Structure 1
Amino acid sequence: MSDHLGPYELLSRLGAGGFGEVHLALDHEGRTVAVKVLHPHVAADGGALARLAREVETMRRVGGTHIAEVLDASLDGERPYLVTRYVQGRPLSAVPVPVADLRRLAAGLADALHAMHEAGVVHRDLKPANVIVTEGEPVVIDFGIASALDSLSVTASGAVVGTPGYLAPEILEGREAGMEADVFSFGATLAYAATGRQPYGQGPASAVAYRVVHHPPDLEGAPEWLEPLLRACLSTEPAARPTAAQICAKLGVAPVSHVRHVVPPQPVPVVRSRSAGDDLETREWRPGQERHRRSVEESRARHREKVRRRWLIGSGLFVSLLAAAAREPWPEVALFLLAAYALAVVCDAGVALVSRGPYRRSRMIVDFVSVAGVVGLCFGLAAMFSTPVLALFAGTALVVGIVFLLSA
């Protein structure tokens, strides 16, 4: 039995981090999203939640191809949660390294860094585990959460605010940290992808942190075109590190403004699922429109009705072609095809008559119109085209239908 959290239906647990568990979920229109449910010790910290709530609006302004956008948030209930775009892929920490297409990865990470900093958001926990690689492109997740929840009470409760080896020296030393800290984390993450090794080695967290502050990074094996940039990003002095815009310029990435303009009051965007190769689009709704939203069940019924109509139209066209091609040499076959199609559609209309679905009336109308349309189209095609031409059309339609089914 699925769990519901607000308007979201939680489907399966994807993983957990220092601040919460991530679930694959469906929004109210049946589209996939990622829901991060905060851990109880984080949810119990009122100060941390208040700080996160103030940061959410800024976080939601961050957009772009290489960012898992924040779509929604509810931080005042018993189970506070954040909703982001769901990215299907594997974290950089789980893919083979060194990465084969390193230039593509570097360009994508630079674009994500520029998008965050352009909107005024500091990630604070950029690392391989927070970079999802999907179809060769990196997508940064969990941006801004660690920065917003960096409070003494949350840290004391057990949440790990950052990962040694990817945290900048100023953070480890307790100094004030800003966007320069993300540049350091960017360099460490890219160094891992380029060499296949942790840039500051492995071992106890305290030992790794000591090496970050007092020792240079291990960049042996990094490409010549990338090593100077990595050393600049991993400088112990924040002022010596390049900005996100400078990183993009050195990598030949043209910075594009990704700031999303959010219309008050507190609009909550939702994401549309996509198939491979489609561009992602987002839409926004306002809280005053909640009563007009469809439930997941209603959305599924609407989708089923759309698919049924497509099958009805497609099969009707194919039957009319076959019947028109067979009308002259085998009129009995043509009559049989039309009668079989009409019988199947009438049975479907009968099911619609006894059902209580929301599309009952329109379903019956479409059924009867399709029968009349198929019969009329059959006689029209038979009058306009010869039997060989109609047979060729029917064969082509069959091949196209099979290819479409296999690709779907």
Structure 2
Amino acid sequence: MSEHLGPYELLSRLGAGGFGEVHLALDPEGRTVAVKVLHPHVAADGGALARLAREVETMRMVGGPHVAEVLDASLQGTRPYLVTRYVQGRPLSAVPVPVVELRRLAAGLGDALLAMHESGVVHRDLKPANVMMTEGEPVVIDFGIASALDSLSVTASGAVVGTPGYLAPEVLEGRAAGVESDVFSFGATLAYAATGRQPYGQGPASAVAYRVVHHPPDLEGVPEWLEPLLRECLSTEPGARPTAAQICARLGVAPVSHVRRATVRPQVAADVHARVRDQAHDHAHVRAAADDMSTREWRPGREQHRRSVEASRARHREKVRRRWLIGSGLFVSLLAAAARVPLPEVSLFLLAAYSLGVVIDAGVAMFSRSPYQRSRLITDTLCVAGAVGICFGLAAAFSTFTLALFAGTALVVGVVFLLSA
């Protein structure tokens, strides 16, 4: 039996990270989304949740084909969660490397970097595991979460903010992480994709971090058109690295703005206000953070009518029923036309049996409370009339042998289709 979290139906667990578990889920309209449920030690940190609530407002503004947009969030109760677009594919860390379509990957990552930085979002944890590959295109996930949840209480509980080898030197040295640190992570991620090796080697995290700060990256094997850009991106000095816009210009990516207008559901901020007030005696800094929060309405889309998951499934069942009704009508009319001359009784029996089945279906529709009641009656009537008309039309246009050949072919194709489905 599936589990529900707020308005979302959790279908299966996709994985887990330092901050939470990710589940494949259905939204109220029946669309697949990714729901990240924060770990209990993260949910217990009121300060982290307050920062996350503020950061979510900015994260909602990031859009584009190469980022997994944040669609919703709820920070109430014991299981706060974030909802993002579900990206079907494999992470860059799990695909064969070196990547064949490296230019396509570089352009997509550059576009994602520009989309985040235009909106004022710093990813802070860009790495191959956070780049999903879907049909050859990269999609960046989990942007903004690491920087929002970077607090002593959260990291002390076991969440790792960033990955050695992809974290910029200034971050490893304890300095502030800005957009320049994302550019460094971008360079390290592309270096891995181009060579199939970690740009600063492997080993203990402390050893890798030392190499990041004191040694140049391993870029042997990187194509000539990309190596100069990666060397600049992996500079130890943040000011020497190019901006996201400059990266896109050098990669030939058209400068398209992906900033979205976003609003936040009042419940998100209200929940954090309540949680922060409850923990105010332990976290004095949280009270100030909550006071700065604004409450704005959050609508995941522009749709005004939101169907429930059950309604979406009913609509799907109606589509399947209609297709079966039309398909079986065409097949019965073909068989009846083939049997009309040699076996007229069989032809009549086939049409009568099909018509009886459709009449029963129409009778069920009349007494049901389905919103598709009227359309079902119209479809049933048209199917009966269409089957009879097609039968006589085929019988007049083709010979019995030809119709029998058509019917046999249709039967074989139908069986193969059912078995493959």
Q: Deviations over 1:265-299 (max 9, x none)?
A: 53332xxxxxxxxxxxxx434xxx6xx64332232
Q: Which amino acid aligns with 2:95?
A: V
Give the 3 Å change call, closer, same or farther, for CA 403–137 of structure 1 in structure 2: farther
Partner of 2:312: 299
SS at match of 1:175: coil
Deviation, 1:400, is 8.3
The separation in 2 between residues aligned to 1:254 and 1:405, in whole angstroms, is 46
Deviation, 1:313, is 2.0
Q: Which amino acid aligns with 1:24?
A: L
Partner of 1:234: 234
Contact 2:57/2:263 (CA < 8 Å) preserved in 1? Answer: no
Contact 2:339/2:400 (CA < 8 Å) preserved in 1? Answer: no
The answer to whether structure 1 residue 338 and structure 2 residue 351 are counterparts is: yes
Contact 1:326/1:387 (CA < 8 Å) preserved in 2? Answer: no
Partner of 1:34: 34
The separation in 2 between residues aligned to 1:260 and 1:306, in whole angstroms, is 34
Q: Which moved more, 1:105-114 or 1:178-187?
A: 105-114
Deviation, 1:78, is 2.2
Deviation, 1:77, is 2.8
Partner of 2:221: 221
Alpha-carbon RMSD across the aligned residues, in angstroms, is: 2.9
Q: Which amino acid aligns with 1:230?
A: L
Deviation, 1:382, is 5.3
Contact 2:29/2:307 (CA < 8 Å) preserved in 1? Answer: yes
The separation in 2 between residues aligned to 1:263 and 1:188, in whole angstroms, is 34
Contact 2:68/2:140 (CA < 8 Å) preserved in 1? Answer: yes
Deviation, 1:111, is 1.4
Give the 3 Å change call, closer, same or farther, for CA 389–77 of structure 1 in structure 2: farther
Partner of 2:178: 178
SS at match of 1:309: helix
The separation in 2 between residues aligned to 1:188 and 1:355, in whole angstroms, is 60
The separation in 2 between residues aligned to 1:83 and 1:96, in whole angstroms, is 29
SS at match of 2:302: strand
SS at match of 1:284: coil
Give the 3 Å change call, closer, same or farther, for CA 223–38 of structure 1 in structure 2: same
Counterpart mapping for 1:2-401 below 5 A: 2-262=2-262, 265-269=296-300, 283-285=301-303, 293-324=306-337, 326-328=339-341, 330-349=343-362, 352=365, 359=372, 362-364=375-377, 366-379=379-392, 385-387=397-399, 391=403
Contact 2:72/2:84 (CA < 8 Å) preserved in 1? Answer: yes
TM-score, reference length from structure 2: 0.83
SS at match of 1:339: helix
Give the 3 Å change call, closer, same or farther, for CA 402–234 of structure 1 in structure 2: farther
Deviation, 1:60, is 1.5
Give the 3 Å change call, closer, same or farther, for CA 49–401 of structure 1 in structure 2: same
Partner of 1:276: none
Give the 3 Å change call, closer, same or farther, for CA 64–398 of structure 1 in structure 2: farther
Give the 3 Å change call, closer, same or farther, for CA 110–395 of structure 1 in structure 2: farther
Partner of 2:280: none
Task: Show structure 2 runs of 5+ residues with no match.
Answer: 265-295
The separation in 1 between residues aligned to 2:52 and 2:217, in whole angstroms, is 33
Q: Which amino acid aligns with 1:93?
A: S
Q: How many percent of aligned residue pairs carry the same amino acid?
A: 85
The separation in 2 between residues aligned to 1:359 and 1:74, in whole angstroms, is 34
SS at match of 1:239: helix
The separation in 2 between residues aligned to 1:185 and 1:165, in whole angstroms, is 8
Contact 1:321/1:390 (CA < 8 Å) preserved in 2? Answer: no
Q: Deviations over 1:127-157 (max 9, x none)?
A: 0110111222211100111111122332233
Partner of 1:278: none
